[in-house]
Amino acid sequence: MGTTVIQAFLVVDASLADVHLFQQMLAEPGAQGITLLHVTSMREAEAYLAGHAVDLIVLDLGLPDVQGLGAVRRAYAAAPHIPLVVLTGVEDESLAIHALQEGAQDYLIKGHIETRGLLRALRYAVERKILEEALFVEQERAQVTLNSIGDAVACTDSAGTISFLNRAAETLTGWSSHDATGLDMAQVLRIVDATSRTTIPNPMERAVVQNETLHSQAQWILLRRDGSEIPIEDSVAPIHDRRGRATGAVIVFRDVSVARTLALQLTYSAEHDFLTGLPNRVLLNDRVRTAIAFAQRHQKKVAVLFLDLDGFKHINDSLGHAMGDKLLQSVAQRLVQCIRGADTVSRQGGDEFIVLLAEVEHVDDTAIMVQRLLQAIATAHSIDNHNLLVTTSIGVSVYPDDGLDAETLIKNAATAMYQAKAHGRQCYQFFKPAMNIRAVERQAIEERLQRAVAQQEFTLHYQPTINLQTGAITSAEALIRWTHATRGTLAPADFIPIAEDCGLIVPIGKWVLREACRQAQAWVQAGLPTPTIAVNISALEFRDDAFLAGVLDILTETGLDPHMLELELTERVLMQDVEATIATLKRLRAHGVQVAVDDFGTGYSSLSYLSTFPIDILKIDQSFVQQISSAPQAATIVTAIISMGRSLKLRLVAEGVETPAALAFLQAHHCDEAQGYYFSRPVPPQQFAQLLEHGLVATVLHRLLNPGG
């Protein structure tokens, strides 16, 4: 502050003697260049200050128009930013001290003034004023800043008494800064722990005592003046004086209700399925773990039920995704209605749900629950004026029998579910360890199958069908065999379903068709009495866009007469996409290819429905034929199929004839043809060629041609 320069000062003094003294002093060395202005009353001073700037005012407290502190106040009002030095007599020193409190910077005592003292007093007065101004501006700036920031700020002294609340703090606490000032901090900032509801020990006290900045860790709640609550987050810092002692504290806190709600929402959506609102796999895993821990302590069991809707894809495709979504929501609701409070229903995605049954006493209880769930879902779902029917397959795994952790339990329940699916709709299966072995085996087969296609590890065996009146061989059914490098010969049941699942059935099927046609044509050319050659076609092959062209190509390529080819399709394949099926069948038949319905009776088509399909042959499923003698119901079905097939003018073939009794029954009911071990097992081509050359074994032929004999 050494640069402080006084250029002009105003002396307000009625005594010309005083003024004269000042003038003399200013003439001395070190004081030159300072202009002294002089007025004799407050009125004059006010008038002058209204139009002029001075660096300092020297004010006599005994003016004619105002005296004492009144003079100080008026001078301050007229020029609040100009430093003020008052002049008093010796006997008025206490007055001078009051004057300092009213805003004067210093005082001079008449008769005790000398030049250096005067100049120093004047300079100090100016410096002090500048500092005061700066401090004021600083405080103003701090106040404005504090009021404009979003965070709430409260200040206390070292005793924890509130000295300031900024505007945000006023809003948050419900206290005005004015009301709060002077109150104990614990009264204004009442903070409790969100979960325990215990009062948080005054954070400011702790900051002051520990002398470091503290941040709230737990979830704190501020109790406002009106009793309402706001979740907050805060930090408290001690305020230090120049010697480093804590003289108070500043607490900064903010309303985190939005942030906390958002956080809650985020955790919710991270743990729930958006479509159904059910817990998702993340939360489910958590619940399974909790249930396991509980079961462990209380010697109970936990069941994990893996549900997959049957044919949901079909519903989605035919009725649209919106409808599919509503159906899933409805299913979710049904499931939730079935369970108890401790249980959990979760959606895994798609049409898969998992139901967790916690605290299971007996596994038998689980079976009852599973039945209930199957029933609940199978009841019609009324959605947008539609009554939708859907069934589900359920796989069950039980802790601790089938797994000790959530992951294993869920995986095994899924495996059991696939097994249930394989048994048809609306079924359930409890997990069995053998299932896992099967799953592993399946994986291995799929990998080997890829190579088998390339390395041609397949062969065809042929099985004849016999005309029951003449004993002649009417067709040769090509049945695939896989010569597996390590496992030997595999039957189709071991790999065809896998090939169908992974799509490999298409190239495999094409190979079968080509090989069968080639073989038949070779027999024809060898001069053998070659029958129709029958080839089994899977759904995936038949649905392939290139299927029809592929068949015709192979016929051309091998030179086989199309009339000698018979394609076997199951009832299920026929019933999918009926119109497209009929169109393809018509074109095949237009070329002379014959069409057989395989495994007839196991599907769910009505018998009369068959008349709409362009087909030539009905192959009665072996399960009925084999029970002809033992189950009257099977016999009835076979009789019905025979008579209906006859009225539709279809050729009837009974599959799986193993016994003379079955043969006799079929003959008695005028079934046209039969196939089965009784006549011949499927045999390799060389053996089949001999069969073509020599006919059936004499004893069989005899029995055949002399029914009842």
* Site residues, ligand C2E (CB under 6 A): 463, 479-480, 491-493, 496, 509, 512, 536-538, 568, 598-599, 622, 655-658, 675-677, 682
Three-point CA angle 216, 217, 222, nearest 5°: 50
124 touches 142 (CB < 8 A):
no
CB of 599 to Ca ion, least distance (A): 4
Instruction: Go through the chain and tell me how many residues it has.
Output: 709
Cβ-based nearer residue to ligand C2E, 312 or 542:
542
Nearer to Ca ion, 170 or 599 (CB): 599
- Interaction partner, residue 493 (ligand C2E, Ca ion, none; CB < 5-8 Å by kind): ligand C2E
> In this complex, which beta carbon is closest to ligand C2E, that of residue 172 or of residue 597?
597
d(CA 547, CA 453): 18
Binding site for Ca ion (CB under 5 A): 536, 568, 598-599, 655
For residues 230 and 223, give the distance between their C-alpha atoms in angstroms, rounded to a whole number.
7
Name every residue whose Cβ is closer than 8 Å to that of residue 501 and which is 6 or more positions away in sequence: 446
For residue 650, the minimal CB distance to ligand C2E (Å) is 17
Phi, psi (degrees; rounded to nearest 5) at 545: -55, -30
Q: Which does 491 bind (CB under 5 to 8 A by kind): Ca ion, ligand C2E, none?
A: ligand C2E
Q: How far is the CB of 463 from ligand C2E (least distance, A)?
A: 6
> What's the closest the beta carbon of residue 661 comes to ligand C2E, in angstroms?
13
Angle at 228 between CA 222 and CA 233, to 5 degrees: 25
At 408, is the secondary structure helix, strand, or coil? helix
Kindly tell me which of 222 and 674 has the beta carbon lying closer to ligand C2E. Answer: 674
- Kindly write down the DSSP assignment for every residue of 82-99, as one continuous string: S-EEEEE-GGGHHHHHHH
Pairing relationship of beta strands 190-193 and 162-165 according to DSSP bridges? unpaired
Nearer to ligand C2E, 401 or 658 (CB): 658
The residues, any chain, with a CB within 8 Å of residue 541's CB and separated by 6 or more, are 505, 506, 509, 510, 547
Closest CA relative to residue 175, chosen from 238, 223, 232: 223
Q: E strands within 241-385?
A: 246-255, 301-309, 344-349, 352-360, 381-383
536 versus 538: smaller Cβ distance to Ca ion: 536
Residue 75 CA to residue 82 CA, distance in Å, equals 9
Q: How far apart are CA 598 and CA 605, in angstroms?
A: 13
Q: How far is the CB of 346 from Ca ion (least distance, A)?
A: 41
Helix (H, G, I), strand (E, B) or coil at 124: helix
- By the 8 A CB rule, do 189 and 214 touch? no
In the complex, the smallest distance separating the C-beta of residue 459 from ligand C2E, rounded to whole angstroms, is 11
β-strand partners of 214:
236
Q: How far is the CB of 487 from Ca ion (least distance, A)?
A: 24
Minimum Å distance from CB 641 to ligand C2E?
15
For residues 325 and 327, what is the distance between their CA atoms, to the nearest angstrom?
5
Question: Which residues in 558-679 belong to E strands, given as ranges?
Answer: 565-570, 594-600, 617-620, 651-654, 673-674
Contact by Cβ (8 Å): 677, 450:
no
Residue 169 site contact among ligand C2E, Ca ion, none (CB < 5 to 8 Å, cut-off depends on kind): none
| Distance in Å, CB of 596 to ligand C2E, minimum | 9
Q: Which is nearer to Ca ion, 165 or 533 (CB)?
A: 533
Judge contact between 310 and 390, C-beta under 8 A.
yes
State the amino acid at position 522 in one-letter form: A
Tokens found for residue 282: 């993340």
Q: How far is the CB of 537 from ligand C2E (least distance, A)?
A: 6
Residue 168 burial by Cβ neighbours in a 10 Å radius (0-12, 13-18, 19+): buried
The residue among 221, 212, 213, 344 whose CA lies nearest residue 285 is 344
Measured from the CB atom, is 256 or 618 closer to Ca ion?
618
Q: Which is nearer to Ca ion, 60 or 568 (CB)?
A: 568
In degrees and rounded to multiples of 5, residue 280 shows phi and psi of -95, -170
Nearest approach, Cβ of residue 596 and Ca ion (Å) = 7
Q: Is residue 588 within 8 Å of residue 542, measured between CB atoms? A: no
For residue 390, the SS3 value is coil
- Nearer to ligand C2E among residue 83 and residue 682 (C-beta): 682
Strands 594-600 and 565-570, bridge-based pairing: parallel
Kindly state the smallest distance separating residue 534's Cβ from ligand C2E, in Å.
8
Closest separation in Å from C-beta 458 to ligand C2E: 8
Q: Which is nearer to ligand C2E, 279 or 682 (CB)?
A: 682
Q: Which is nearer to ligand C2E, 273 or 598 (CB)?
A: 598
Q: Nearer to ligand C2E by C-beta: 419 or 536? A: 536
Contact 312, 385 (CB under 8 A): no
